[in-house]
Amino acid sequence: MHSNWGKLHNKQIGNYVPPLQFRYKTINQQKNSTVERLRIIEVFIWNETSIYWRSGPWNGGVFTGIQTMTAAYFFSFQGGDDGEGNINIYYTVENDEDFVIFHLNSQGKLEATQWYDEKKEVIVTWTSQDLECDVYGICGAFASCSSLFSPICICLRGFEPRNIQEWNGHNWTGGCVRRTTLQCSRDNNKTTRRKEDAFLKLQTVKVPAFAEALAVTPDICRSLCLENCSCLAYSHDSVIGCMSWTGKLLDIQQLESGGLDLYVCTAYAELDRGRNKTLIIVSTVIIGTLVIVICAYILWRRTKNHPARKKNNKAFQQFNKGGSPNVSPSDNVIGEMSQVKLQELLIFDFEKLATATNNFHLSNKLGQGGFGIVYKGKLQDGQEIAVKRLSRASGQGLEEFMNEVVVLCKLQHRNLVKLLGCCIEGDEKMLMYEYMPNKSLDAFIFDPSKNKLLDWRTRYNITEGIARGLLYLHRDSRLRIIHRDLKASNVLLDEELNPKISDFGMARIFGGGDNQVNTSRIVGTYGYLSMQGLFSEKSDVFSFGVLVLEIVSGRRNSSFYDNEHALSLVGFVWIQWREGNILSLIDPEIYDHSHDKNISRCLHIGLLCVQESAVDRPNMATVISMLNNEVASLPPPSQPAFILRQYMLNSKSPEENQIVCSINNVSITDLCDTITSSQFIKDPETLISKDGNFTLGFFSRRNSTNRNVGIWWKSQSTIMWVENRNQPLNDSNGNFTISEDGNLAILNGQKRVIWSSNVSNIATNTSSQFSDFGNLVLLDITTGNILWQIIQQPSINKLLQPSMKLSINKRTGKSVKLKSWKSPFDRSTDNFSCSTVERLRIIEVFIWNETHIYWRIGPWNGGVFTGIQTMTAAYFFSFQGRDDGEGNINIYIIG
């Protein structure tokens, strides 16, 4: 039996009890978590005498109520009768690496913990209550819970809320009641067959608690339930057998995967009502179609006489039909537009919006950004709206405009702003949102006259609301969205100061199998970006971390704290955190001794979110768990991203910077992985990635005194890249540095450039950073843009590793390929190369001997290369292959 400790410092027994084993004979006398009802086994967590969570029935392999179990639980659970009257649940592991420990914390959550050898710490890999729907009976009887919808509870078909006022107030525990009595219940004869009544099928659900089971076939199971007036629902599983319910149907949860099918007995009148509803819907669709056709004809007649509007109207009509506008693709997924139901969106004309905003008078101006100006407006019916009018100079065109329409049309969440309508006429592009009377978050926390209106409890609620909004975007919505421009000015506050994330013009819709995407175009707001050439969920996590630090401190991230010697808020917080000066980080307006631990915990979470390595940052589900679980310990944060940028701007000489980066004759990167214009690597110095796996430096081939600059993994026997492979240095006087023109360069003893990154038209204010993936990046310090990086250079690599790509550009023909070396000891290029080939949308990888095909891999089917017979079983790492929307066909490895 598991029992929790009341507090981390108090090891007394707490209230939550999740026993994993019990004796059958004492089932009615003990509060046990493994409950058997005629061989139905479940795991329960109890809060004293009340059920707090349940696993769903055990089917001999998994607990059917845990949707992640099939995929995530590689260790083997076992359960059953041991022949001595004991019903047991236990698991086995194959080796020490898979060793998992389950424990019950003081919040009543059962957690699976595992030792993470790389970090030398224990991490939580699974928790029983990840979502609101995991709480037992949260929606009451005869209702289903789904975290994909808002509100999360919905009555089963044929049922209605018992108390409509409580239900609308999000108190669902009263549950639902049947709207129409079943036929045999009216006959008051339990032996009467309910010929008119039938079953409504609910797919992929966590079935209700406390079923009765019989070992019969599915057909007999259905018949038995139909003939018994007390039977309210049934389900059948090949292992468990026939399950039926005669009492209240409690704790039904809609799952995304796994689960069982549940058949709920529904009155004939409700089924007939459904048929009538279908007829109404069909009729409405037909009538609506006729109306749309007539309106379209009228619109066509109008637009025919307005040549200036033709271009954008044509694009909008194509968008309405599911096509893509005739604009060049960038970082969004235009293909998703085909699924948007524009009939749900109001289309405004320019004159109506001009009237609503008093001809866009400055007195109605709510705010302004790079996109343009936002105005307050009032429609003729009195409804207040916010009108976002895109500026022609903003750089955001029809594509970004439609991207925001696509995203917001598909999303509904209490922490996301609601889109009401849009307008495209000529060069005018406008979006209409619900009006937020308290404007944006930055108007409060950075305004000395308003910041005291947001006390700590309010700021904490805002932080949690933003986190829940991001979690919905990343994991719980119909699409998988990366916002890419999260900042204080893009968080709006409603009348009750509830946060709503806005501005989705830069958002990116992910495909189902994508985890991260490479981009050479950094978008977003400087200071909130984790500029690593890849964007993923962890990019938004970084922005969220910066936002948390701003909310707690009341300071803008972009401020320069000259007296604290830090370029940004992130740098300032990191320095003060290491020195233990926590009080100096807290906005004096919110400081309250009673909230010390809570505020400090939020700062801690913020620093975890801005860690330099994306792998180290928590996902948003973990962030919410950290925010809600005030007693669970947090891992120590590592150094934030770009903490050393301050020295790039202020470097004057190598000697002045020895505090940060030692550039003596040992190595410049015992402390740092960055090169600036005032620093250089002199043979035999090296640059080492933060994780210690990759090294950049000088080396010699075997039996040669010539020197090359290269990158190797672990040791020089696994050199993955050589810069001056065909023009080696003939002595040990070489330097690797940033040249006067801002490019990376290799200089010989006479200071002559023998290799350069050769980027044209760049500013001289550049720096270089060496990442944990072995990627060397050249950055514009002023803008943060990536100017050049190794993983996108043609014909340079010998090894393909995670994050590196084989690619070919369909427009320019430029390719990134693997090139062979003449021998393990001669790194000059040989005749063989490996590259991506795309013909008629069929992607393959070829090996070439000069211009002749030597080997091919077979077509890519989206998961494997079909010409490699062992690939499905042997390739545990994940290959990805696709068109990135910018003309590049990429093949690369994830993890």
Binding-site residue ranges for ATP: 388
Q: Which two tokens stand for residue 363?
A: 């007195």
Q: Which two tokens stand for residue 321?
A: 């039909």
CA distance 249 to 143: 8
Q: Which two tokens stand for residue 564?
A: 């604290």
Taking residue 768's Cβ as centre, other Cβ atoms within 10 Å add up to 26
Task: Name the amino acid, one letter, at 125.
Answer: T
In the residue annotation, 826 being an active-site residue is answered as no
Q: What 3-state class would DSSP assign to 767?
A: strand
- Residue 234 sits at φ, ψ, to 5 deg, of -145, 160
Place of tokens 């409690």: 250
Distances (CA, A) of 666 to 311, 661, 838: 63, 11, 47
696 torsion bin: left (phi>0), alpha (psi -120 to 50), beta (else): beta
CA distance 473 to 484: 11
Judge contact between 784 and 775, C-beta under 8 A: no
Distances (CA, A) of 235 to 158, 212, 245, 256, 265: 19, 10, 9, 18, 11
237, 331, 485, 587: which one is catalytic?
A: 485
Q: What contacts 761, CB < 8 A, 6 or more positions away?
A: none
Interaxial angle between packed helices 398-410 and 310-320, expressed in degrees from 0 to 180 and rounded to the nearest 10: 30
Q: Which two tokens stand for residue 684?
A: 């035999």
Judge contact between 348 and 421, C-beta under 8 A: yes
* Residues in the annotated binding site: 388
Q: What contacts 100, CB < 8 A, 6 or more positions away?
A: 75, 91, 93, 112, 113, 114, 125
Q: What contacts 271, CB < 8 A, 6 or more positions away?
A: 198, 200
Judge contact between 145 and 153, C-beta under 8 A: yes
Quote the strand ranges of 649-791, DSSP E: 674-676, 680-682, 686-688, 694-699, 708-713, 719-722, 735-738, 744-747, 753-756, 766-770, 776-780, 786-789
Judge contact between 803 and 534, C-beta under 8 A: yes
DSSP 412-452: --TTBPPEEEEEEETTEEEEEEE--TT-BTHHHHT-TTTGG
Nearest one of 675, 805, 693, 794 to 745, comparing CA atoms: 675
DSSP 44-62: EEEETTEEEEE---B-SSS
Q: How many residues does the chain have?
A: 895
Judge contact between 829 and 725, C-beta under 8 A: yes
Taking residue 874's Cβ as centre, other Cβ atoms within 10 Å add up to 9
DSSP 5-22: EEETTEEEE-SEE--SEE
CA distance 435 to 868: 56
User: Which residues belong to the active site?
Assistant: 485
